[in-house]
Amino acid sequence: MQKNKAKIAVLVSGGGTNLQALIDAQGSVIQSGEIALVISSQPGAFALERAKKANIPTAVACKKELGSQTAFEETIKRLLKEYDIDLIILAGFLSILSENFTKDYPRRIINVHPALIPSFCGKGYYGLRVHEAALSYGVKVTGATVHFVNEVPDGGEILLQKAVDILPDDTPETLQKRVMREAEWVLLPQAAELVSKEIIK
């Protein structure tokens, strides 16, 4: 039996701007999937408010409270099973998932990274650090990449990329905002649709 829509879980840690881009794209860009659950690694994340406002079920899995990586990942797995999730989207999710977790979801976890992989990626490259590195290196073009997640941080197969020009007076903050607006918020819904479409085929 063909599924009507792939069920998507979005994993977040902070403000949830990428989550908002996904919520806003539901029904337009994203037609083959729907967000069925938002899981935050931080109890107070504003992303949870965004989900509630959109009537999407939420849950919290906080590693510090759960005490270990194993307990943290088992909690997430239990939630994914409970909500019958097909696709996991990491949207500003700041916890690295172990191989123990990623191997159970081959080609079912996608992440957006605020640079053109293989530049400025891997362990330690997240948030503003990525944009600081791009600026201090002096590259003229940066962008965002959506990729499948495997056991290597930022090491999975690339799905989509979009370039963004660096302007002469850019700061890490202005660059971060422009990469989000011009690349991350555009690519993430497109990738969600691509993978959801594959899943329900």
Would you name the residues annotated as active-site residues? Answer: 113
Strand order in the sheet with 87-90: 58-60, 33-40, 6-12, 87-90, 109-113, 141-148, 158-165
State the CB neighbour count (10 A cutoff) for residue 58: 17
> Which residues are bridge partners to 9 per DSSP?
37, 88
Q: 169-194 burial, b if ≥16 CB within 10 A, otherwise e?
A: ebebeebbebbbebbbbbbbbbbbbb
Q: Is the peptide bond before 118 cis (omega within 30 degrees of 0)?
A: yes
